[in-house]
Amino acid sequence: MFSETTSLAIALQQWRAVLGESGVRLDPATLARFQQDTMCSAAYAEVVIAPLSAAQVSACMVIARRHGIAVHAVSTGHNWGYGSASTTHASCVLMDLSGMKRIVSFDEELSVVTLEPGVTQAALAGYLQEQGLPWLTPVTGAGPTCSVLGNALERGFGITPHTDHFQAVLGLEAVLADGSLYRSPMSLGATAPCFKWGVGPYLDGLFSQSGLGVVTQMSIALVKKPPVIQPFYFWVAEDEGLEAALDGIKRLLELAPGQIGGINLMNRTRLLTMASDAQVVGMSEAQQRSAAAALGLPAWMGVGSIYCQPAQHRSLKRMIRTELNRFASKSLFQTRGQLTAMARLLGKLPGGWSRRWQRTLHKMLQGIALMQGQPSEVALPLAYAAGAKALAGAPLNPARDNCGLI
């Protein structure tokens, strides 16, 4: 518990002078929002401060340091599965940067976006669409409300060609504990940084998964949407085939680096959760097997995507199919248009079989939208599979809805 010592009381006053009353929150509703976690670990948030600019972050850090108060910064705080927004220990002030929502610049020539911590996947995708910029948002399964900067800083992973999100970070700005500002060497000029390593020792990595500074801006390389984005799916019928499948996936990724995005491998439990209305959590292994068999689901299923030029498409497909034939019991290459047509056709047929397939096709289409850089909530219902109820009319948020997944 954070005891309101004299120094904390003075710090609160000084933060209020910088941020105004609304920027320093101790009200139960705000604190409750930040004390939720998807794990069973203790979640703390006794004071939330919410600066709106790098200058305010700096002033807040000077005050915190003066009074010896630890600060834990989050961007959107949706680090579900890894502590959510909560601070790591009780006597620590939470700094909420979700109000810093500026997309500072987009350099079309270098394909680099510079943005603040509160810019979500949905906000970046919306910006790119409004401006008619054909670049891919670095989406993840965590969905539209998550910070692009926060995810990259935590070394998040996605399915678009720049799968390793911190690898795509070309420069950043961070406020240090004493309030001073760090900027990557190549960010100091007038243009966006285009060379990750800059000059001299590489320091940006110090700010990744460390808490050594509050990152207030980041420049990230985006991938221009290629003309062909083609999903492929493969089945691994039995558990015994998993080892060969993992070797095969490794070979696939070596085959065409940059042209095959992240490959998502899903087990029977996950497939059942996505494809059926049954309560999968709590089923025995044998029950899962028979439920999966009834729906024609394999032990494992993989989804990948090809990003390429039309002239490369046919040969890439052929190479991938040859590799898949070595370990997969079945494979499928379907375009968005083909899946949409199938869904439309199934919509005309009656019965449970047709409904189940429509549901599967809907998920597949949502998955393709992700491959095309459109954030979606397609993966989040997994966290609700044990029966948690989502708040009606609001984006999914497992921490708020008291659920999660391991």
- Name the residues that contact ligand FAD, by CB under 6 A: 73-81, 85, 97, 117, 140-142, 146-147, 150-151, 153-154, 156-158, 211, 214-215, 379-380, 382-383, 398
Closest separation in Å from C-beta 293 to ligand FAD:
26
Complex with ligand FAD: residue 107 or 154, whichever CB lies closer: 154
C-alpha 345: how far from its chain's center? 33
Complex with ligand FAD: residue 59 or 73, whichever CB lies closer: 73
Closest separation in Å from C-beta 209 to ligand FAD:
7
Complex with ligand FAD: residue 241 or 305, whichever CB lies closer: 305
Q: Which of 228, 59, 220 is nearest to 153 (CA)?
A: 220
Closest separation in Å from C-beta 113 to ligand FAD:
16
Closest separation in Å from C-beta 166 to ligand FAD:
10
Complex with ligand FAD: residue 165 or 268, whichever CB lies closer: 165
Complex with ligand FAD: residue 59 or 214, whichever CB lies closer: 214
Please enumerate in sequence order all residues whose Cβ is within 8 A of that of 303, keeping only pairs 6 or more positions apart, or say none: 231, 232, 233, 263, 264, 266, 367
Closest separation in Å from C-beta 174 to ligand FAD:
7
Complex with ligand FAD: residue 231 or 398, whichever CB lies closer: 398
Closest separation in Å from C-beta 55 to ligand FAD:
15
- State residue 142 phi and psi, 5-degree precision: -75, -20
Closest separation in Å from C-beta 332 to ligand FAD:
22
Closest separation in Å from C-beta 339 to ligand FAD:
21
Complex with ligand FAD: residue 150 or 248, whichever CB lies closer: 150
Complex with ligand FAD: residue 80 or 327, whichever CB lies closer: 80
- State residue 133 phi and psi, 5-degree precision: -100, 110
Q: How far apart are the first and last CA of the chain?
A: 28
Contact, 103 vs 113, CB < 8 A? yes
Closest separation in Å from C-beta 304 to ligand FAD:
14
Contact, 186 vs 69, CB < 8 A? no
Contact, 297 vs 207, CB < 8 A? no
Q: Distance (Å, rounded) from C-alpha 10 to C-alpha 267?
A: 53
Q: Which of 197, 198, 195, 192 is nearest to 219 (CA)?
A: 192
Complex with ligand FAD: residue 75 or 187, whichever CB lies closer: 75
Complex with ligand FAD: residue 127 or 289, whichever CB lies closer: 127
Complex with ligand FAD: residue 45 or 192, whichever CB lies closer: 45
Closest separation in Å from C-beta 318 to ligand FAD:
29
Closest separation in Å from C-beta 287 to ligand FAD:
24
Q: Distance (Å, rounded) from C-alpha 309 to C-alpha 110?
A: 20
Q: Which of 75, 77, 69 is nearest to 35 (CA)?
A: 77
Please enumerate in sequence order all residues whose Cβ is within 8 A of that of 333, keeping only pairs 6 or more positions apart, or say none: 230, 231, 232, 233, 317, 321
